[in-house]
Amino acid sequence: MYKELVPILQKEKVNTGRQWELDIARALPVLCLPVIHCIIECCTDEMLESGIPYLFDTVIGGPFSAPMYLFAMGVSMDYTKRRSPGKFAMRGIDLVLISYVLNICRFLIPYLVGYSISGDREQFIVPLAYRVLGNDVLLFAGLAYLVIALFMKLKLSPKKMMLIAVTASAAGALTTGVDTGVPILNILLGSFIGTEDNSGLLISDFPLLIWLIVPVSGLCFGRLLTHVKKEDKGKLYLTVSVPALAAAAIYMCIGIDHTWGMFGEGQNCYYHMMPWDMLECILLDIGMLGVWYFVSEIIRPRTMAFFTDVSSKITSFYCIHWVFVRTITNVILYIKNGTQVLPVWKTLLLSVCIILVTLLLAEVWRNIRIRFIAARMTLKEKGVE
């Protein structure tokens, strides 16, 4: 493989424009999120063991979802115009703050409304602190930006970044399952290592030590990509993506068949992955990025424009869809029916409706932001004059 790469790698950065495959790699996972999350919320454990629910919960909602987005996020760090430690740090702080605002909007407000209507303390009050203070991929993305901003400030090479990320992954594997005995400490520590307790309510999704290797791998791959001429990208992806995709496919088939690794019982098999699971995800990411490159070369410009548009609205789409999913399933359906379980066809219909409404509201929100920024710049110019 090395011999095939040498002729197409340039000493200087020659590929600094928009990478269309990244738009697809970022847009598709986020478009699938309403389906994945509705399936998880509206299906019983037995339903999730087979068929469409299993496909979206364990396969599409597993290695094809968050790892793909986070890897693409890492690659994008090499292409953003705002590439500096200060800008990355500000982006990280923004994402961390947005994640907690989201928790207020999708948990605190709907749950308090649900409790005021139903008086069901077990459903709405008992898990509230765990929900509001818990972490998810948005908080992790913010922390990852902060760490990578520090790496850049220290002027670490990609090799050193990768070494630290690999070490962190190993440390994360060794410390997973920690229970401090103090709920609030478990919750806060769960953003950094894989904590667990006996309540069944603890949210320790995407711990920093375990998952940092994914965006850092993307960053390193992006660095490689910038040194490949546009006309040689096909050769690059054929060289690295085909064997990576083959290895990932073999691992997935074995894991699914034997319910092994990230495909085992319980959600922490995924959120608290072992290093070999992470390697599988990174290989799959590299493989699928090649697939999306060749797809981007043949699809219609209008379709590509749609993916680019969704890619530019990922954060707003993510936040809006979660407010709908939690409010509808945890509050409205639960209070109305006494359960949030739905037949699979109704769950899919609900998720499609949420996708359409979320796309519309994300566009409305972007237009509001554009007008606000334009108005602020106008006032600033008048003040200068």
Q: Is the dihedral of CA 154, 157, 159, 162 positive or negative?
A: positive
Question: What is the average per-residue pLDDT within 2-7?
Answer: 72
Instruction: Tell me 228's DSSP state.
Output: B
Per-residue pLDDT, 2: 61
Per-residue pLDDT reduced to its tens digit, 53-110: 999 999 999 999 999 999 999 999 999 888 899 999 999 999 999 999 999 999 999 9
- Joined tokens for residue 149: 């901003």
152/147 Cα distance (integer angstroms) = 9
Task: Using the predicted structure, report yes or no on whether residue 201 has a pLDDT greater than 80.
Answer: no
Per-residue pLDDT reduced to its tens digit, 222-244: 999 999 988 899 999 999 999 99
Number of domains within the chain? 1
Residue with tokens 């699938």: 32
Question: What is the average per-residue pLDDT within 115-122?
Answer: 94
- Joined tokens for residue 102: 């989201």
Per-residue pLDDT reduced to its tens digit, 234-278: 999 999 999 999 999 999 999 999 888 899 877 788 999 999 999
106/366 Cα distance (integer angstroms) = 20
Task: Using the predicted structure, report yes or no on whether residue 209 has a pLDDT greater than 60.
Answer: yes
Task: Using the predicted structure, report yes or no on whether residue 315 has a pLDDT greater than 90.
Answer: yes
Scored b (16 or more CB within 10 A) or e, 185-194 reads ebbebbbbbb
Question: What is the average per-residue pLDDT within 210-222?
Answer: 96
Contact residues for 292 (Cβ-Cβ < 8 A; gap 6+)? 21, 22, 24, 25, 28
Per-residue pLDDT, 202: 76
Cβ atoms 247, 230 nearer than 8 A: no
Q: Which domain holds residue 39?
A: 2-384
Per-residue pLDDT reduced to its tens digit, 123-153: 999 999 999 998 999 999 999 999 999 999 9
Average pLDDT of every residue of the chain: 92
Q: How far is CA 284 from CA 30, 63, 71, 240, in A?
A: 17, 8, 10, 11
Per-residue pLDDT, 155: 94
Task: Using the predicted structure, report yes or no on whether residue 382 has a pLDDT greater than 90.
Answer: no
Cβ atoms 285, 21 nearer than 8 A: no
Per-residue pLDDT, 1: 65
